[in-house]
Amino acid sequence: MFELPKLSYDYASLEPYIDAETMQIHHTKHHAAYIQNLNDAIKGNEAIFEGKTLEQLIENLPSVPQGIREKVRNHGGGHLNHTLFWQVMTPKGQKEPKGKFGLELKRAFKDFKTFKEEFTASAMGRFGSGWAWLSVRRKKLEISSTPNQDSPLSSGARPILGIDVWEHSYYLKYQNRRADYIESWWNVVNWEEVGRRLEIALK
* Binding-site ranges for Mn ion (CB under 5 A): 30, 164, 166
Q: Smallest distance from the beta carbon of 202 to Mn ion, in angstroms?
A: 28
Which one, of 174, 16, 149, lies nearest residue 80 by Cα? 149
Three-state DSSP state, 88: coil
Q: Smallest distance from the beta carbon of 164 to Mn ion, in angstroms?
A: 4
Report d(CA 189, CA 18) in Å as an integer.
12
Which helix or strand (DSSP H or E) is residue 22 part of? helix 20-25
Report d(CA 111, CA 104) in Å as an integer.
10
Q: Smallest distance from the beta carbon of 95 to Mn ion, in angstroms?
A: 25
Which one, of 191, 197, 170, 4, lies nearest residue 92 by Cα? 191
Q: Smallest distance from the beta carbon of 62 to Mn ion, in angstroms?
A: 26
Q: Smallest distance from the beta carbon of 149 to Mn ion, in angstroms?
A: 8
Burial 57-91 (b: 16+ CB within 10 A, else e): bbbebeebeeebbebbbbbbbbbbbbbbbbbbbbe
Strands 158-164 and 130-137: antiparallel
| CB-based closest residue to Mn ion | 164
Which one, 30 or 137, has the nearer CB to Mn ion? 30
Which one, 30 or 69, has the nearer CB to Mn ion? 30
